Structure 1
Amino acid sequence: MIKKRYKDNKVAYLLLAPWLVGFIGMWLIPMCISIYYSFTDFNLLNDPQFIGAANYVRAFTQDKTFYKALKVTFLYVLLLVPLRLAFALFVAMLLNKKHKGLGLYRTLYYIPSIIGGSIAVSVVWKQIFGNKGVIMTLLGVFGIAQKTSLIGNPKTALYVIILMGVWQFGSSMLIFLSALKQIPGSLYESAKVDGANGFVTFWKITIPMLTPTIFFNLILQIINGFRVFTESYVITDGGPLDSTLSYVLYLYRRAFTYFDMGYSCALAWVLVAIVSVFTVILFKTQKNWVYYEAGRE
């Protein structure tokens, strides 16, 4: 028995080896190096000099751009996450009904999530909302003259990037669709017998039964929202007037434009702390609003 168990363990470790090598080499070691660099003055050209928590003090007490990038990112997450989840749930409920071509519709709605974060799509999005793009042309046709494009106006540029983020709702939609199919039909039949209308059924049955899925999607989308980079970098490059300067884009600039790698690593760990705080808050408060059919967890 012992020999057989040992042999089985060897096979398990052998199968896990590719993942373990990737995790240690691509995640664990770089993570430890990043933590060390965050406490150093390192510019990629000279040897790192240990300076303690000076990089973190600098971020919170001296760097005004840090707060500006943080503000832009918080606003992006605050608007993007509820809009994307609401739209994903709306489309999922439409696709949950039986009609012809359902598989095709699911595929079409999911495609933006596959290609939405790519450089190519960001370039296309930039052209659509640019000075000579489709949107500006349509506004001109309807007599709405604009001297500056939507991505060239500090008041509207961020909303263009948010709109692109909402457009990538496919993954959340599929998760919602899967959860909708798990809701027992008997609940809706009982509500119908009791005379409940569509709104009451949605609010009293659908939403409570979907709360675990909403919780899961909420965490994923908050994490993804704080990591926004490609759209801000390609479409506006953080402009105009830093109105779309996302936190990760600012982190990238400090590292690879100014070669301030030590400070950039500190900024990265500040972001990890922020995301961790949001995640912990959600987990701590889930007992107040997340319903589990098998009992509260």
Structure 2
Amino acid sequence: MTATDELRGLRDSRAKSKPQNKAAFWFLLPWFLGLFAVTLGPMAASLYLSFTKYNLLQPPEFIGFANFERMLTDERLHSSLAVTFTYVLVSVPIQLALALGLAILLDRGIRGLAFYRSVFYLPSLLGASVAIAVLWRTVFGTDGLFNEGLGFLGIEGRGWISDPETALSTLITLNVWTFGSPMVIFLAGLRQIPAMYYEAAAVDGASPLRRFTSVTLPLLTPIIFFNLVLQIIHAFQSFTQAFIVSSGTGGPVDSTLFISLYLYQRGFGNFDMGYASALAWLLLVIIAAFTAINFWASKYWVYYDD
């Protein structure tokens, strides 16, 4: 075959691929429209507004870094950050530990596995809904179901939602209750661990606890890392639970004031859209920092087969 024939064949193959490329472009066009119109466009607008004073009624007024400097002296912001960090750092580890424990129990091959897996996954689908938040406020109210249960045991209940010492704990409990999603992922990871590793450990006389710490955990660290990153991001974005339980106030005494809720109050309660946009970018930076730290630390404790 001559060079001319090779060039002609290459030209023909490119001509045939052009209709396929056009079809791919048209299929991807809705996604690109969504990316620029729903994601990148609003993000760019939010970044611009974070450097302005804007109340929705008047044109934005550029004020430079004044909104970010204001964060340094905003006591309610500092309080909301403390509440949010406590919520994330307490609820996520407990949630993942519970999810892993139940995944190990379900991995034993009990009857009705599909039923239990569906039942345990259900809270993850409903946990962020308004209905569940309303139910949670009712259950932990002064006359709620939780206090009725304590009354049967002879224990005097309290207003768990209205007490600043316990209000955040009820939201932490709600987040822990939504363990279904990481549990299903853990269960899938457990099913991928070869049985020969457990057989070899059993032959060497390893106890069940030793098999768990020496075989299960190391081989499951990529799944643990994946769940950890996702659940931290999800916890930082929590809003509905605190909004419904506190009736949008973040109370009592700002004990349930997440930064997402404070952002909402500044933007849609006080019409301070410029400062709210700056708070949104602060939240983005915090989530990005936690994600980056997790990826950096993963090289010390996450193990891969290769």
Normalising by structure 2, what TM-score? 0.94
Q: Does residue 289 in structure 1 map to residue 287 in structure 2?
A: no
Per the alignment, residue 2 of structure 1 pairs with 14
Matched, 1:155 2:155: no
In structure 1, C-alpha distance between the alignment counterparts of 2:57 and 2:257, rounded to whole Å: 26
How far apart are the structure 2 equivalents of 1:134 and 1:241?
24
Q: 1 CA distance for matches of 2:202 and 2:243? A: 51
Amino acid at match of 1:16: L
1:167 equivalent in structure 2 = 177
**Aligned letter for 2:67?**
N
* Alignment match, 2:39: 27
Counterpart for residue 94 of structure 2: 83
Hey, what's the Cα distance between the residues in 1 that align with 2:282 and 2:16? 47
Match of 2:6 in 1: none
Does residue 1:185 correspond to 2:207, yes or no?
Answer: no
Query: What is the aligned partner in structure 1 of residue 8 from structure 2?
Result: none
- Correspondence 1:230-241 to 2 at 5 A: 230-236=240-246, 237=248, 238-241=250-253
Moved over 6 A (4+): none
Q: CA deviation at 1:23?
A: 1.3
Q: What is residue 52 of structure 2 aligned with on the other side?
A: 40
Percent same amino acid among aligned pairs? 48
Match runs of 1:243-282 below 5 Å: 243-282=255-294
Query: Any unmatched runs of 5+ in structure 1?
Result: none
Q: CA deviation at 1:6?
A: 2.2
Q: Which stretch shifts more, 22-31 or 135-144?
A: 135-144
* Structure 2 Cα separation of the partners of residues 9 and 288 of structure 1: 43
| More displaced stretch, 4-13 vs 123-132 | 4-13
- 1:128: which partner in 2? 139
- Looking at structure 2, the residues matched to 205 and 142 of structure 1 have their Cα atoms a distance apart, in angstroms, of 42
Partner of 1:206: 216
Per the alignment, residue 119 of structure 1 pairs with 130
Q: CA deviation at 1:166?
A: 0.5
The offset of 1:139, in angstroms, is: 2.1
Deviation at residue 98 of structure 1 after TM alignment: 1.2
Q: Tell me how far 1:100 sits from its aligned partner.
A: 1.4
Which SS does the other structure have where 1:99 is aligned?
coil
State the distance in 2 between where 1:78 and 1:191 align: 34
Could you tell me which residue of structure 2 aligns to residue 137 of structure 1?
148
- 2:121 pairs with 1:110: yes
Secondary structure of the 2:165 match is coil
CA RMSD of aligned residues (A): 0.9
Q: CA deviation at 1:142?
A: 2.5
1:233 deviation in Å?
Answer: 0.5
- Cα deviation, 1:1-20, whole Å, max 9, x if unaligned, reads 11222222111111111211
Q: Is the partner of 2:57 in helix, strand or coil?
A: coil
TM-score, normalised by the number of residues in structure 1: 0.96
Residues 164-185 of structure 1: per-residue CA shift (max 9 Å, x gap): 0000011100110000000000
- Cα distance in 2, alignment partners of residues 261 and 184 from structure 1: 54
The one-letter code matched in structure 2 to 1:231 is Q
**Which residue in 1 is equivalent to 2:110?**
99
Deviation of the 1:130 alpha carbon: 0.6
Equivalents in 2 of 1:269, 1:172: separation in Å? Answer: 27
Looking at structure 1, the residues matched to 102 and 22 of structure 2 have their Cα atoms a distance apart, in angstroms, of 47
2 CA distance for matches of 1:10 and 1:133? Answer: 60
Aligned residue number for residue 53 of structure 1 = 65
1:73 to 79, 84, 91: 84
Q: CA deviation at 1:82?
A: 0.3
Separation (CA, whole Å) in 1 of partners of 2:125 and 2:304: 31
In the alignment, the residues of structure 1 paired with residue 255 and residue 130 of structure 2 have an alpha-carbon distance, to the nearest angstrom, of: 20
CA shift for structure 1 position 189 = 0.1
Whichever residue aligns with residue 160 of structure 1, its letter is T
Q: CA–CA distance in 2 between the matches of 1:221 and 1:5? A: 42
Q: Which amino acid aligns with 1:267?
A: L
3-state DSSP of counterpart to 2:55:
coil
